[in-house]
Amino acid sequence: MEPERELIRRILPFALPVAVVAFALGTMLDGQDAGWSASIAIAVVALNFLVHGWSLGWAARISPVVVYGVGLGGFVVRLGVIALVIAVLDQQSWFSLPAFLIALVPATIVLLGVEMKLLSGHLQADLWTFPSNDPGVRR
């Protein structure tokens, strides 16, 4: 199985329970609007992770150059999308930017830590396979 899909399969099931906890904590600390804002942040982190995994998995089937482009370009695009989501939601009267950020930042850090733990001992390049156009190369 592709390492990106394996990461998605192992990590994504935690998104809903974490969103529920974020909602409960936000609601307890600052009301239901903060709860919704915190749970939306968890959804943004989960969707960001899903898009990242799918795009790298797709790129890995093509070439190392495409992996590099998707990795670097995708990072910039995903950060832009997060900024756009914040800008759009911040126009809503119910949205709590502090609750959103207080959920988004730790969730992102924990997610990166879990990814590193799951991939530890493996070089990312060792996990990918690239198709060869040379008929003499065995896979």
Q: Is the pLDDT of residue 127 over 70?
A: no
Q: How does DSSP classify residue 135?
A: T
What is the structure's pLDDT at 80?
Answer: 94
Residue 88 included in any domain:
yes
Residue 69 included in any domain:
yes
Alpha helices (H) along 90-122: 97-119
Residue 134 included in any domain:
no
Stated pTM of the model:
0.80
Q: Which tokens go with 3? A: 């390492």
Residue 117 included in any domain:
yes
Residue 104 to residue 10: CA distance in whole angstroms: 20
Residue 97 included in any domain:
yes
Q: Is the pLDDT of residue 123 over 60?
A: no
51-79 pLDDT, tens digit per residue, is 988 998 898 888 889 988 998 898 899 99
Summarize the confidence of residues 26-32 as an average pLDDT. 95
- The boundaries of the domain holding residue 48 are 3-123
Residue 28 included in any domain:
yes
Q: How does DSSP classify residue 122?
A: S
Residue 136 included in any domain:
no
Residue 129 included in any domain:
no
Residue partners of 133: CB distance under 8 A and separation at least 6: none
Q: How confident is the model at residue 128 (pLDDT cuts 50, 70, 90)?
A: low
Q: How far is CA 37 from CA 59, 78, 97, 108, 122, in A?
A: 33, 19, 7, 15, 36
**Coil/strand/helix, residue 18:** helix
